[in-house]
Chain A
Amino acid sequence: MTTKALAALITAIGVLAGGLPAAAQGPIRIGASLSLTGTYAKLGNYQNEGYKLCAKQANEHGGLLGRKIEFVVYDDQSAPSTAVRLYEKLITEDKVDAVIGPYSSPVTEASANVTEKYKKVMVTPLAATTSIFKRPPDKKRYYLFMVISPAEAYLEGLVDMAAKRGLKTIAIVNEDTLFAKAAGDGAAELANKRGMQVVFREGYPKGNQDFSAILTKIRAANPEVLAASTYFDDAIAITRQMKELNVNPKMYGITVGGDLPEFYDLLKQNAEYITGATQWETTLPYPGNREFSDAYKKEFGREPVYHSAAGYAGCVIYLEAVKRAGTLDSDKVRDVLLKLEMKTAFGDFKVDQDGFQTAHKMVTTQWQDGKKVIVWPDELANGKLRFPTPPWNQR
């Protein structure tokens, strides 16, 4: 029997058994470079698990366009230059059917040049820097799509809640690095829009631990709101020294770090009333969020973080777009993605003509009696903001 006849026989059996012609076509291969080792390893692995869970679930539900899905993942060791090489390899040597984003803004910024060159649609779930998407017209990126909220949105909840309560003055401090500064700029712009006056604005160097002078100035400026665009160590130091210098605004909110359990462990009751910002929480009432968290815990034996959820959602969004387009063709999938409005376990997805995320909501949390309560936006909140903040010795 010749090979050809054998193939025909197998196909015939397949058709008779009700199998799909897909089997003959082989799986759809989606390529990604991820930071599985190096500086971003911890977070890159969470994202990878999000991708894995998405592929597994899709395959359990019949795959995509009648074909199975298979991820081809390489490790870029958290280095943008390595990721560039890996995407080149994925597209030209491995000839993958599609690509999906790496971890972090710097790696996305570098890799996007490759995927654009080959006109490959790339949903990039963990790039939050606005400038990757908002570019001058001659350098516009056509095939890149954002999933998480931009840095500028981190303090939106704090400013909105303050404005609604009639507060008029705000002080903004930020670590003087790219992301933290963008979040500070975003807060200043939002505050101006809402008719609040920015009475103090200053950056401080990375690693700074002594905030006495900055806080002395803030105390003199006497703002009703203090917004601090921080990472973690600085958030702890600022909070402790606010108490030492008796700086007591009606509202005090930080960006990154305030949502971590460690924040409360270190500061105890001094963390009460402080707001933090996050992209996602397991408790948010998004469609399929609980199911996602449960499946994730079962699959990987640990709690998902927002990087897992964003990775999962990025993959779900891409698969949905391909399904609606009925093809893997980049231009057709792009057209669908530009119009797509979708709710995933990670929240809303909708992008503008630059692929820039406009619908996903950051949530603002507040520490209340040792628990992290979502207080903003109203439609996602599971508690009310405690306001105003009492003096330090009454917390």
Chain B
Amino acid sequence: MNVVVTPAMLGQVVISGILSGALYAMVALGLALIFGVMRIINVAHGPLLMLGAYATYFLSTALGINPYLTVPVSMAMLFVVGVLLERTLVFRVVDAPELSSLLLTFGVSIALVNLAQLLFTSDLRSVEYLTGAWVVGPFALSKSRVVAFVFAGALTGLAFLFLGRTKLGKAIRATSQSREVAMVCGIDVQRIHLVTFGLAAALAAAGGALIAVIVAIQPEMGQIWTFKSFLVIVLGGAGNYPGALLGGILLGLIEQVASLFLTTQLSEVVAYVLLVAILLVRPTGLLGGRQT
């Protein structure tokens, strides 16, 4: 009863996989940054993404701004939210055992979701801006996903440029390598933590803003992105920034190809079995652990 897979179909899902993979990579880069620099697994990463999505929704529907122009605004807003969160709560658990930071960010995550339910209600909302597809030969390229891919690629590129070329970026990487040595070299580690958390929240917000144009949004949309980002950084190597790129694209491809050959239900199983397998066989991730 089910269909035979043709090369054209495989091509189509590979395209879909790469398009969503770029988004995964960008969002996961935020999680990887926080983990690398602060040794914290930020469970609230997904809910921050959700806030970014709502920022874009309200800016584009209430003020009539082109949703793609709201991406930087959304990022700036969430940068501030990230900085505030770090300054009020997260800094307290940086040196605490990892369980404390997990619990704290888990609490923040629940609070953000419930706050969103109160403020925005649980109704689905959508930004109907760029729907439909460009048809190229046997392939359909979703317009909103292609634009999201371009944005994600550009923003990830910028983030890497920032980390590799600027003084602040280098300081972040230095802190990630060794906090003590960075401190000895005169880097203000507190400030680095602040910037890192803000930057990570901004990357999540960019993801949320782009996703808002692709799917309908609601307050609980974020959690799944925490899991996906976690999967991505385990695949690529926790704390390894280029690894997040590879992990993102890989996760996108695995999900799509597994759904094609098996079923959508089994594709989730495949992704998480892979997670367990990698943790067992190569716990440092495909590209190895912390390196910058």
Contacts and interface: CB of A to CB of B under 8 A. Distances in A.
A204 B269 CA distance: 12
Contacts of B3: 199-200, 217, 220-221
B131 A214 contact: no
Given A210-B20, A236-B126, A245-B140, A216 B260 contact: yes
Contact of B260 (A200, A201, A213, A232): A213
B178 to A, nearest CB: 40
B215 A240 contact: yes
Interface in A225-270: 232-233, 236-237, 240-241, 243-246, 262, 266-268, 270
Nearest to A205: B265
B259 interface: yes
Contact of B2 (A217, A219, A232): A217
A245 B142 contact: yes
Contacts of A208: 264
Nearest to A221: B3
B220 to A, nearest CB: 9
A217 B214 CA distance: 20
A211 B255 CA distance: 11
B259 A214 contact: yes
A244 B132 contact: yes
Nearest to A233: B124
B143 to A, nearest CB: 7
B255 A210 contact: yes
B227 to A, nearest CB: 12
State which size class the interface on B falls in. Answer: 35 or more
B118 interface: no
Contacts of A204: 263-265
A155 B267 CA distance: 28
A99 interface: no
A171 to B, nearest CB: 9
Interface in A366-395: 392-393
A335 interface: no
Contacts of B5: 220
A200 B259 contact: no
B144 A244 contact: yes
A243 B259 CA distance: 19
Nearest to A232: B124
Interface in B1-30: 1-6, 8-9, 12-13, 16, 20
B262 to A, nearest CB: 9
Interface in A173-189: 176
B126 A213 contact: no
Contacts of B13: 212-213, 216
Contacts of A199: 1, 3
Interface in A191-217: 198-205, 207-214, 216-217
A211 B264 CA distance: 8
Contacts of B145: 244
**Most B CB within 10 A of own CB, among A176, A210, A233, A392:** A210
Determine the main DSSP class of A at the interface with B.
helix
Nearest to A268: B128
Contact of A209 (B6, B215, B265): B215
Contacts of A220: 3-6, 8-9
A248 to B, nearest CB: 10
Most A CB contacts (10 A, CB to CB) among B6, B140, B145 go to B140
B240 interface: no
Contacts of B218: 233
Contact of A203 (B1, B224, B265): B265
Nearest to A208: B264
Interface string B204-218: 000000000011101
B132 A243 contact: yes
A202 B264 CA distance: 8
B131 A246 contact: no
Interface in A122-181: 176
Nearest to B262: A213
A237 B140 contact: no
Given A236-B126, A245-B140, A393 B132 contact: yes
Nearest to B142: A244
Interface in B125-146: 125-126, 128, 131-133, 135, 140, 142-145
B74 interface: no
Interface in B237-280: 255-257, 259-260, 263-265, 267-268
Contacts of A202: 2, 263-264
B218 to A, nearest CB: 7
Nearest to B130: A244
Report which residue of B4, B13, B259 has the largest number of chain A beta carbons within 10 angstroms of its beta carbon.
B259
A232 B125 CA distance: 12
A241 B145 CA distance: 10
A241 B125 CA distance: 16
A208 B264 CA distance: 8
B133 A176 contact: no
Nearest to B17: A212
Q: What 4 A-B pairs are tightest by C-beta distance, nearest first?
A: A213-B259, A244-B142, A212-B16, A204-B264
15 contacts: A202-B2, A207-B224, A210-B20, A212-B16, A213-B259, A213-B267, A216-B9, A220-B8, A240-B216, A245-B12, A245-B142, A246-B133, A262-B123, A262-B124, A270-B131
Given A207-B224, A266-B126, 6 more contacts: A202-B263, A208-B264, A209-B224, A212-B12, A213-B264, A219-B12
Interface of A: 176, 198-205, 207-214, 216-217, 219-221, 232-233, 236-237, 240-241, 243-246, 262, 266-268, 270, 392-393
